[in-house]
Structure formats: C-alpha cells, structure tokens
Amino acid sequence: MAFGQNKSKDTINPNILIDPDIMAEYPGGTKACMTYIRDSVLSKINITEEESYSLRTAYSKITITESGKVTNVRIIRSSNVPRVDSLFKSALEKMPNWKPALINGKIQSQDFNFPLKIELK
C-alpha cells in the first residue's frame, strides 16, 4: 500500500495544495498509516471466490484540512466489490487528525490520492 499527493492541475478547490513544502502527515508516519488501513480495512475483508475474479485496486481521494481533519473522502476508482469500497471509505472518514501541510511556513489543506490494494492469500 502507498499513498501520494495529487499532481493533477484540475484541482477543484484552488486553495488546496498540490505541491507543499512539507506534506501533510499521518500521526506516526507512513508505517502507522499502513497499520491503520490494515487493521481497519484489510483485516475485515472476506472476499468470495467469485468476487476475487473482478477485484482490483481501489483508489480514493481525501482532503487534509488546515486543522488536520480528513474530509471530502470519495472513491475515485472502485474495487468492484461495493462492500469493500464502503469499508474503505468509512475507515478513511474515521482516521485520526493528520499533521497538516505547510507552504512558506503557513498551514494549508492538501489533497491525497489513497490506494487500497487487496492481496488474496
């Protein structure tokens, strides 16, 4: 699993950063974020054999506000399993506050694309 900032120039809100000096950070960093997703989403998913044939990596887009709150959570590419998408979106909405992004020493909002890759065992 990995996540990154959106480099797209078609940002809906011009007040949201695309390339900050210091990116927003999940409390505890990337490893802690991966643990949160594993515990909140991946450990709760039971995929049937039939669903496994159409399963793909899901992508969401989230906004980290100036206060660090996760908002505007949306699935931008479905996993093709609606209950997985729902669980993914719900977990992102319940994330703890992040450390917000900075540009020129000023706190700013930032958008992230957030993938969810499910590896079947």
104 backbone dihedrals φ, ψ, rounded to 5°: 55, 40
Q: Max Cα separation, the chain?
A: 51
The percentage of the chain sitting over the pLDDT mark of 70, rounded to a whole number, equals 84
Amino acid at 92: L
Query: How far is 11 from 23, CA to CA, in rounded Å?
Result: 16
At 41-80, the pLDDT tens digits run 999 988 888 888 899 999 999 999 999 999 999 999 999 9
Stated pTM of the model: 0.79
Q: What pLDDT, on the 0 to 100 scale, is given for residue 49?
A: 87
Which domains are delineated in the chain?
22-116 (3.30.2420)
Instruction: Concatenate the DSSP letters of all residues of 57-91 into one string.
Output: -EEEEEEE-TT--EEEEEEEE--S-HHHHHHHHHH
Pairing of strands 16-17, 106-116: parallel
Put residue 19 in one of left, alpha, beta given phi > 0 → left and psi -120 to 50 → alpha. Answer: beta
Computed over every residue of the chain, the mean pLDDT equals: 86
